[in-house]
Amino acid sequence: VQEEANLVKQDKLVRTKNERVPRLADLTMRPVFAGRKTQGNLEAHTNGLRFISTRGEMVDIMYANIKHAVFQPCKSEIMVLVHFHLKNPIMVGKKKQQDIQFFTEVVDASQAVDGNRRSMYDPDEMDDEQRERQLRKRLNEAFKDFCRKVENVARKNGYTLEFDIPYRDLGFMGNPNKEMVMIMPTLNCLCNLTETPFFVVDLSNVDHVHFERVTFMSKAFDMVLINKDFTKQPWRVDMIPNEEKDSIQEWLTDMEISYTEGPMNLNWKSIMSTVVGDDRFYMDTEEDEVTQKEAGWEFLRMFGRDDGSDEESEEESGYSENSGQEESEEESEEEEDFDSEDDDESDFDADDDLEEQGMDWDDMEREAAADDKRKKRDGDEDDRPQKKKRRR
């Protein structure tokens, strides 16, 4: 009863009669009813979708209550799915839920039963792989067709509903909730829909993104997505591999979301409580309108500041192409000094050096002979005063 207290009342489903209803059969729903696997059929009616389980349980999702609908075809995953992120939570069993998902697993029955590994050249194994590829293709087509029909039914009845498809090429590994998962952006969200609990961040609610633990020492960094509602704690994705940073920052720039980065993990509870009470947070002066201060999230910047977003990321990371060139020049100078020291000590290195300069053998022999004479002469001069000293 307490769970239902704050629910927004939903309209009653109007069932479509006199025409064929778009339907997907043999789906599994997540979250489940009462801890048991929930399987059944999903139908698209006049003002919403209805899922009826094999045990007779029913879930209605109104088109007007769907904030984001995502269709994720299976490529490397074991499932193809449709996911609904709702504006207001609805009851599933005895719990409020804001994310409802329907999926079908792409696991061939023969594979599930026969767990033994066979040779890749086994004709049966090759047949199984071929069947699985065909099954993936068939399920992807069936789900895609269903999504298109649902969009048409919604549009016909005055609702706007569009299914987003995640951008795989922008996906990255990260840990939003105790395990590493593949996180992919859609047009409106950043999400992981294959593992539970679902991770869905509506990008229209993100005010700013901060990257933590950005140093040359660490192999991974953490991403903090700050909610526009400062009373709520930010979303986090931890342990993102360093090589993903540039592509994530490019994507944020395309989405017109600001970002900063720093070397430390920050205390977001205290930061958010400070920010909530700051009326002039986005202004660059204090209350006297004279004293300068950092505007908005600029105070999170740890490596100086710059106005251009491209230059900004170079400033923040403390590294630029020029500095790289300078470093390599310094290194090469040091190497040259080191080589010259070696030249004084070792004849062999000197010969190599001469060889590199393009001298032939005769020139090198003459050079070596002259060098020996010079060393002998210098040695004789050094010995003379020492003999005089001994006489005294």
- What's the pLDDT tens digit per position in 49-80? 999 999 999 999 999 999 999 999 998 888 99
* pLDDT (tens digit per residue) in 346-355: 444 545 544 4
Cα Rg of the chain, angstroms: 34
Question: Sorting pLDDT into bands at 50, 70 and 90, what band is 317?
Answer: very low
Question: Of 221, 266, 215, whose CA–CA distance to 239 is shortest?
Answer: 221
Tally of CB atoms within 10 A around 253: 15
Question: Are 278 and 284 in contact, with CB atoms under 8 Å apart?
Answer: no
Q: In the predicted model, is pLDDT for residue 195 greater than 70?
A: yes
Cross-sheet strand order for the sheet of 172-174: 172-174, 181-185, 189-192, 199-202
Report how far residue 237's alpha carbon sits from residue 206's, in angstroms, rounded to the nearest whole number: 14
Report how far residue 23's alpha carbon sits from residue 68's, in angstroms, rounded to the nearest whole number: 20
Q: In the predicted model, is pLDDT for residue 92 greater than 80?
A: yes
More confident residue, 43 or 308: 43
Q: What does pLDDT average to over the chain? A: 82
Q: Kindly report whether the global pTM for this prediction surpasses the value 0.75.
A: no
* pLDDT (tens digit per residue) in 229-276: 999 999 999 999 999 999 999 999 999 999 999 999 999 999 999 899
Question: Sorting pLDDT into bands at 50, 70 and 90, what band is 107?
Answer: confident
What pLDDT is recorded for position 220?
Answer: 97
What pLDDT is recorded for position 380?
Answer: 61
Report how far residue 188's alpha carbon sits from residue 255's, in angstroms, rounded to the nearest whole number: 9
* pLDDT (tens digit per residue) in 140-184: 999 999 999 999 999 999 999 999 999 999 999 999 998 999 999
Question: Sorting pLDDT into bands at 50, 70 and 90, what band is 358?
Answer: low
